[in-house]
Structure 1
Amino acid sequence: MMTKELRRRNVKISRNAPSLLGVKPEKQKSSMTKYVITAAAVTVVMLIFAYFRYQMFLRERVKTPLYAPTMLAKDSTLPNKEPGRFWGSYRPHTYFGMRTRSPSSPVMGLMWLNQQTRQMPPPIRHWCDQGDGLPKYGWLKHDGVKFGTQEIVDTDFTLTTDFIKRPGGNHGGDWTARISAQPHQNVPGTIKLVSLMFYVALDGQGLLEPIISKTGNRINSINGYSEELGNFKLSFPKSSSNTTYRHSYLATQASGLDKLKDSLMNGIRVEAWDRSRQTPYYVLGGRQVPRDGVVNFLTYQVTAELPFEMEVTFESGSFVDRPEKLTGEVFDALLQQHSLNFDEKFEDKFQLKSKGFSESQIDFAKAALSNMVGSVGYFYGPSLVQSVHNAEPVRYWNAALYTGVPSRSFFPRGFLWDEGFHNLLISKWDAEISKDILSHWLDLMNTEGWIPREQILGVEARARVPDEFVVQKNENANPPTLILPLQRLIKDMLHSNKESDKKFLSAVFPRLKAWFQWYNTTQVGSKPFTYRWKGRDSTGNRELNPKTLTSGLDDYPRASHPTDDEYHIDLRCWMALASGLIADIAESLGLDGREYKATHQLLTNNGLLDQLHWSDKKQQYSDYGLHTDKVRLERPKPPPNLQPGQRPPQMNMDKIRMVLAEPQKGFVNAFGYVSLFPLLLKIVEPSSPKLMRILSDMRSEKHIWTDYGLRSLGQSTVMYNRYNTEHDPPYWRGAIWINMNYLALSALDYYKSSPGPYKQQAEDLYTELRNNLINNIYKQYQQTGYIWENYNDKTGEGKGCHPFTGWSALVTLIMAEIYE
C-alpha cells in the first residue's frame, strides 16, 4: 500500500511540477522550441561565418609569406650592411644604367643619338632591343662588385662604357662612369656627330636640382637627395673631343621609370645648325615642367664630333674624407688595376690557359662570365598571382629580387628555372653573390611553399611583358633548379665551422622542406611515386601538342591529350635530386632527415624507376599518358550548304588540331632531353645496361647527336621540328640548348669517372660533345658578336634571342670542365 501510494503521490507531484515552478506545460514546450530554433540559427550563422572566414583564409594563402625565418634580414642590402654591392649596373634592360639595391632608388643611365640620322623621329638608344639591330654589345669584363667594361658596337661607331666604384661614407660610396665613342672609319672629310645623353630619374620620393652654366644650355652638375642616398652630386667633368658642338639639357617630369624615353622624345626640338648642309640638329629643350612643378627627370646632352669621351661622376654627400676625384688619370690607374685583378681571378677560378685555349677563346669565356654577372639586376615590387580560390588576380607582397636575367634584350627579368643554371656559374665566380641571389629567391616563397616562376617586379619590367604572361598561378611549378647551385655551395658548407655558413644552412632548411612539400602535394601523379606537371591545357584545339610551360621545356612533346593520369619522368628526377639535398642538410645540422633520405632512396631506385618509366618497345625512358602521334593542323572548313552569294559566318580561320587516331594510354615515345633525365641527374646506376642504351642513342644522329651539341628532340620523333600552332615555330623540338648540354656533360663526366662497364663509352662521348659545343658557340660568337638562346641543329647557327648570356654562358664552365 505504501509503495502504491508513494507512486501515486510521485506521479501527481511530477505532473504538477511545472505548475509548482510557475510554468505551464504549453509554455515550457514553446520555450524549448524557441531555444532550439535560436541555437540552430546561431549555429548556422557561425557555420556561415566560419565558411566565409575559411574562404578568406584560402584566398589569402596565395599572397601570404611563408611562416619561417627569412633568408635575408630586411636591411641586408642597405649600404651599412653590404656597401660593396649597394651600387651596381643593376638595370640590365638598359644598354648602360646604374641603381642601388634599395626599393625606390634613383636611377641613372645612358641614351644616345646619331645626329646624322635621316629617320624621323630620330632613333634614340636606351633599352636593349633586338630591333635596334646593333652588330654587338655586351660586357667584356665585369666582376659583379667593383667595376665593369662594356663594348657597344653601333652602325657607324663603337661606344665603350667603363665604371668604377669606390667605397666611403654611409651611403655606398662614389662611382664614375666613362663613355667613349670611336668612329668605325676615319675617312677624311667625313664628320660623325653623336649626342650622348646621361640622365638621373627619381622613383617616387627625392629631390633633384640642376646647376646650370652661365650660358644657360648646359648642366654642370646635379644636386640630389633621396632617403636611400642622402645628399648626392652628379657631375659632368669637361669632355674631350676634336670639336664639341653643343650642350643642352632637359629638366622635366616623367610619369614613370618606364616612360623616360617617351619624356625625352617629347622634350626634343629640331634646329638647323649647319645651313650649308641643311642638317637637322636635335637638342633637348631645357626646363619643361608645369608652373610649380617638381623636376624628377634630368638629362644632360653633349653633341660632339667623334672620337669623343665623357665622364660622369657620382659623389655621396656622406663621403667626407674623399681622396682625389675619381676621374682622369686616377680613373685610368684604378681601371687598369681592377682589370688585372679580374684576369688573375679568372685564371685562378677557371684555369683556361693551362687547358690550352687561345687568348681569343679566353677573352670569349671572360665575356660570357662577365655578361652573366654584369646582367644581374635588382627589382622591387609585387607579383600578380592567382589561385583557384581567387576570382581575380591579386597582388603578392612587395618584394625585392636580386637576380640574373636570361637576356637583356628579350627576358630582362627573373625566371625561376633559369636562375638555378645561372648560379652554377655565378657560385663558382663569387659564392657570396650567389648566396645572396638564392636567398632573395627563397624569400619569395609563400605559406604554401610556392615560388612564382616568373618575376615581373616594377614598372620597367612590367612594360616588357605581354599581359598573358603577367599573372602567375600557384598550381604551376617550375623545375627546382636552385637545387643545382645549392648542392655545390652546401657541399662546401657541410663541414664548415663558419657561423655564417651554419646560419645559411639553418635558414635554407625549412624553406627547402616547404618547397619540397609543395611539389610533393600539388604535382603528384595518380599512381604512387609518380609526378606530373600541372598547368597543361586539355581543352584547347590550336596546339599540335599542348605545351608544358611549367616544365621549362615548353613545346617538348608530352601526352597529346592531358589527363590527371599522366606522369612525367623529368619531374620525378628533379624530386629525387631535391630530396637527397634536403637529407644531406638535415644530417649536417644534426636534424632528423630520415624521411627525405628514404624518399631519395625510393626515387633513385632503378627497379621502381624502370617499372614506371621504361618503355620496352622503344627501349628508352618515357613519360606516360593518353597519347597519339597521329595529329595535324588543318584550317577549319566553312559550313556546308551555303546558298549562292551567301557569305560564311564570321569565324577564326587559324588552323586547329585534327586527331587522326584515337589516343591510347601508354608511353610517349618521343626521344630527346626528357628521355635523358635519369642520366642527366645521375640516377641511372653506372652498371645498368640501360645506361649503355642511353649512351648509344645519344650518339645516334637519327636521334639527338649533332656536330654542334645534343639537339632537344630526335630526328626520328614525329614532332621533330614541327610547328606547334600555325604561328608558333618549334622551340624545344630540335634546337640545341646549352643548359641541357651542360647537364649531359656533367653526367658523362660522372659516368666516365665511376666504376662500371661503360666508362670508356661515356668518356668518348664526353670528349666529342664538349669539343663540339665549345667550337660552335665560340665560332658563332666570332661571326655574329653574340651568345645565343639556342643553336640550329643542322647548321650550328645561333637562334632565338640575343644576347642570351643566361644559361648559354655555362660554356665558360664547360671550357673549364667544372661540374661539381
Structure 2
Amino acid sequence: MPATRQRAVRRSHWDQPDGEGVRTGRTSQSHRGQRNLSSILLNMGMVLGILSILWFCWATYMRWWLAAQVVTPHSSPAILPDGATRASVSPLRFWGTYRPQVYFGMKTRSPKSLVTGLMWMEQGQSVPGSLRHACDQGDDLERYGWLAHDGVNFGQQEILERDFSLSTDYVKRPGGEHGGDWSWRIAVKQKRNGKPRLVSLLLYIATDGDGYLEPSVQHDRLFHVDGRTDELGSFRLMFGEPMTSGTDRRTPVEVQFESGSVDHRPGPLAGEAFEQELSQHRAAFNRRFNGVFGLQNKNYTTQEVEVAQAAFSNMLGGVGYFYGSSLVESPFANNPVAYWPAALFTAVPSRSFFPRGFLWDEGFHQLLLGRWDLGLSQEVMAHWLDLLNAEGWIPREQILGGEARSRVPAEFIVQRNDNANPPTFFWTLRTLFPGLGGSLPSADTAFLQRAFPRLRSWFEWYNRTQSGPLPNSYRWRGRDADTSLFLNPKTLTSGLDDYPRASHPSGEERHVDLLCWMAQAAGVMADIARSIGEPHEGEYSRLHSVLSDEENLVRLHWAEDLQAFCDWGNHSDAVMLVRERVPVPPGAPPQTRVVRVVRRPSAPQFVSAFGYVSLFPMLLRLLSPKSPRLGATLSALHDENKLWTPFGLRSLARSHPLYLKRNTEHDPPYWRGYLWININYLAAGALHHYSNLDGPYQIQAQTLYQQLRRNLVKNILREYRKTGYIWENYSDSSGAGRGSHPFTGWSSLLVLLMAEQY
C-alpha cells in the first residue's frame, strides 16, 4: 500500500491543474527544445549553405576545367619534335609548293614564311574578275594541274586558258643552311587556233612582317629583290627578262631564288642548267613511278599512264603547310574558343573547293602517298595526331590561318568536340605497315612507339563519346537536329553527309559503318601493341574479337527481311518535301517554303536503305568468306536496281525513296546515288580480298572484282580525256564527272586501282 500511494501521489502531483512550478518547468524545457531545434536548423542551414557554395564552386571549377580541356594539348610527348620542319632538320622538304589554294606559289614549312606566287591576266579583257590567282572553279579553265611532281625536287604544271596555255615548272637545288636554291620557269604559249592575247604576268614576294625586302629597279624594270629574314638569312630573288620564241609562240619567264648561305654554287639555276636538271628529275620521276606502281607492265597506253601520273602528282603537289588556330566549341563553354596555334602538313581534297585538311580524307590520301614515300606519310599522320587535345579529340576539319578561313562558309568553321570523323588512319597504318602484328623495321617501330599514346587516347575517345545505346554498338554524334526542313537530317560527322539515316534523330540510333570502323581500329591497335611490346594488346584483341564477331554484327544490324546490314533508329520511310505558303502581312507578295511532311509515324526499326553503309562489313573485310551474308551482300551489290552501274557502285540503291532526292529546297543530293571513288576503292579491295579466299563466293567475288575495277578505271580515264579533270564524284546514269574539280584527293586512288594495290 505505501508503494501504491506513493505512485498515486506522484501522479497527483504531476496532474495538479494549478501547479505553477510544474507548468513553468514544462515551458522552460519546451523553450530549450525550441532553442536547440533552431540551433540545429541554423547549423544545418549554415552547413547546407557552405555545401551549396562549395558545390557551386566545384561545379564552376569543373565546368571551367571541362571547357578548358577542349583547347588543352594532349599530355603525351608530341610525335614530331620542335623544329622538325626547319631547314636545319629537314632541308629537302623546307621549300615547296605548299600553297595548294593558288595556281602557283611556294613557301617554307614555317609559321612565318616568305611567300611567293604568280598571278596573270589578259590585257584588254572586258570581263571583270579576269585576274587569276586563287584556284577557283568559276575561272572556267579548260584544265589545270600538275603533270609531274615528286614532292621534293621538281614539279611541272600546265594551265589551259581558252586561247593560250601557261606552264609553271620549278626545280630545287639543295645547299647551304636554309633550304638551298630554287628556280621557276613560267611560259605562256599561244594556241594555234586561238585569238592573239596579250597576257600580263605578276610575280610577287612577301614577308609576314619579319625581316626586309629591298627591290632593285633599273630602267623601269625590276631586276631583283634582296632580302633577309631570321629564318632564311640573306637571299636574292632575280627576275629574268621575258624571251619570245617565234617557233612555238612561247614566252618563258625565269625566276631564281638564291640563298645567301650557299657558298659553292656550280652556276645559276637558269637557262640550260635549269633545263638539264628539270629533265633529269623528270626522268627519275618516270622511273620511280613505274617502279612503285608498275603500270607499264599492265598494258596501259602511254596516255593512260600520263593520266595516272597527273592524278598522283596533283595529290602530292596538293600537299600544303598550314598554321593557325581552329575555332572549337564545347558544351561546357558559352562561346567558341581558339585552339592552340599549330601547324598542319597535309594533302587537300581539292585545290579549288576544299584547299584545307579533312581528317577522314587524309587517311585515304596516305594510302597512295605512303607507297611513294612512307616517311612523308608518317610525317603527315604525326602532324594530325599532334593536334590531339587532352580529351583525345582531333577537330575533323582543319581551317588554319586567315587564307584558309577566307575560303570556308561561316557555318562550317567552328568544330564541336563531340563530333567525330571515320578514323581512317587505322586503315592507313594497317596498309602501310603490312607486317603489323609481328616484327617491324626499327624505324617503323620507333614511329609507332611515339604515336601509340596518342593513338590510344584517340581510340578511347571514340569508345567513350560515340558509344551506342546497346553494348558494343556505336552512334555518330552531330546529326542535324532540325527535322522540319531536312528530308533526312544530315550526318556530316560520318563523312557520308546526307546518306539516309533514321528519319527522326534520337539517342537510340545504331550506325553500322561506325561499328565497322571501330572493329577494324581495335584490331590495328592490338597489332600495334603486339609489334611494339605494349602491355595493352590483350584488351584490344578482346574488343576486336567482340566487335568483329559476326554474331554481334547480326544482332545489332542484320535486317533479315531486307537481307542487308542496316542502321537502326526511330524511322519512317514515308517522308517527303512539300511546298507550303508562309503567312505574310496584308498586301505583301505571297511567299512559300519547302518543309518536310511525315505521312506515316516513325517507329524504332531498321533503316531500309541499301547503299554504301550496308557494305561496310564487307568493305572492311569483317565477314567470313563462307558467310551467307557475304553472299547476300555480293548479290545485292551486283543488282542494277541497287548499286551496280557500268561506271562503278552508286552510293544509294536506285529503288530507294530518297535516291537522288534533294535534302532541302536548296540542298541537292550528294551521297544519294552518285559514285564516290573512295568507297569504290574499298569495294574493289574487298572483292579482291575475298576472291583470294576459299569459300562458296570466291568465284563471284573474282568476277565482280574484275568488272568493277574495269568499269571504274575506264570511266575515270574517259572523263579525264573528255573534261581535263579528275572529279569529286560521278553520275551513276552517265558516268559524267560531277561536283568540285579538280578533285585530286581520294579520287586519285585511280592510280591504286590501275596498279591493283589494296
TM-score by length of 2: 0.92
What is aligned with 1:283? none
2:580 paired with 1:636 = yes
CA-atom RMSD in angstroms: 2.2
Write out aligned runs for 1:182-331 (5 A).
182-185=189-192, 191-213=196-218, 215=219, 217-241=220-244, 306-331=249-274
Contact 2:349 2:355 in 1 (8 A): yes
Shift of 1:29: 13
Write out aligned runs for 1:55-74 (5 A).
55-74=63-82
In the aligned structure 1, how far is the partner of 2:224 from the partner of 2:582? 68
Shift of 1:537: 2.3
Residue identity opposite 1:589 in structure 2:
I
In the aligned structure 2, how far is the partner of 1:571 from the partner of 1:622? 12
* 1:636 partner SS: strand
For the structure 1 residues 344 and 661, does the alpha-carbon distance in structure 2 shift closer, same or farther, using more than 3 Å as the test?
Answer: same
Which of residues 564, 568, 581 is equivalent to 1:624? 568
Shift of 1:500: 3.0
Contact 1:737 1:790 in 2 (8 A): yes
What is aligned with 1:148? 155
Q: Deviations over 1:301-360 (max 9, x none)?
A: xxxx95200001111111122221111111111000000000000110111111111101
In the aligned structure 2, how far is the partner of 1:561 from the partner of 1:351? 49
What is aligned with 2:668? 729
Residue identity opposite 2:111 in structure 1:
P
Shift of 1:634: 1.2
In the aligned structure 2, how far is the partner of 1:499 from the partner of 1:560? 50
2:166 paired with 1:159 = yes
What is aligned with 2:29? none
Residue identity opposite 1:551 in structure 2:
S
Shift of 1:494: 5.7
* 2:468 partner SS: coil
What is aligned with 1:361? 304
Q: Deviations over 1:608-660 (max 9, x none)?
A: 21111110111100000011111111122355xx9xx9447x99732010111
Residue identity opposite 2:509 in structure 1:
E
Contact 1:493 1:501 in 2 (8 A): no
Which of residues 788, 792, 799 is equivalent to 2:738? 799
In the aligned structure 1, how far is the partner of 2:599 from the partner of 2:40? 70
For the structure 1 residues 241 and 630, does the alpha-carbon distance in structure 2 shift closer, same or farther, using more than 3 Å as the test?
Answer: same
* 1:160 partner SS: strand
What is aligned with 2:19? none
What is aligned with 2:114? 106
Shift of 1:495: 5.2
Shift of 1:607: 1.3
* 2:159 partner SS: strand
In the aligned structure 2, how far is the partner of 1:786 from the partner of 1:398? 35
Contact 2:436 2:528 in 1 (8 A): no
Residue identity opposite 2:297 in structure 1:
S
- Provide the identity percentage: 50
Write out aligned runs for 1:476-555 (5 A).
476-492=419-435, 498-555=441-498
Write out aligned runs for 1:743-782 (5 A).
743-782=682-721
For the structure 1 residues 677 and 324, does the alpha-carbon distance in structure 2 shift closer, same or farther, using more than 3 Å as the test?
Answer: same
What is aligned with 1:133? 140
Structure 2 gap segments, 5+ residues each: 1-34
Residue identity opposite 2:464 in structure 1:
T
* 2:701 partner SS: helix
For the structure 1 residues 44 and 692, does the alpha-carbon distance in structure 2 shift closer, same or farther, using more than 3 Å as the test?
Answer: closer
Q: Deviations over 1:521-572 (max 9, x none)?
A: 1111111111011111233311100001000000100000010001100000
Shift of 1:759: 0.6
2:123 paired with 1:115 = yes
Contact 1:364 1:778 in 2 (8 A): yes
For the structure 1 residues 731 and 377, does the alpha-carbon distance in structure 2 shift closer, same or farther, using more than 3 Å as the test?
Answer: same
What is aligned with 1:298? none
* 1:724 partner SS: coil
Contact 2:581 2:591 in 1 (8 A): no
In the aligned structure 1, how far is the partner of 2:560 from the partner of 2:132? 57
What is aligned with 1:16? none
What is aligned with 1:693? 632
Write out aligned runs for 1:440-459 (5 A).
440-459=383-402
* 1:656 partner SS: strand
Residue identity opposite 1:537 in structure 2:
D
* 1:657 partner SS: strand
In the aligned structure 1, how far is the partner of 2:757 from the partner of 2:118? 37
In the aligned structure 1, how far is the partner of 2:705 from the partner of 2:309? 23
* 2:284 partner SS: helix
* 1:572 partner SS: helix
2:550 paired with 1:606 = yes
For the structure 1 residues 136 and 39, does the alpha-carbon distance in structure 2 shift closer, same or farther, using more than 3 Å as the test?
Answer: same
Q: Deviations over 1:216-270 (max 9, x none)?
A: x221101112222122111112321159xxxxxxxxxxxxxxxxxxxxxxxxxxx
* 2:653 partner SS: coil
* 1:786 partner SS: coil
What is aligned with 1:53? 61
Shift of 1:487: 1.1
Shift of 1:794: 0.4
What is aligned with 2:30? none
Residue identity opposite 1:693 in structure 2:
A
Size of the aligned set, in residue pairs, is 722
Contact 2:487 2:664 in 1 (8 A): yes
In the aligned structure 2, how far is the partner of 1:34 from the partner of 1:534? 47
Q: Which moved more, 1:162-171 or 1:800-809?
A: 162-171
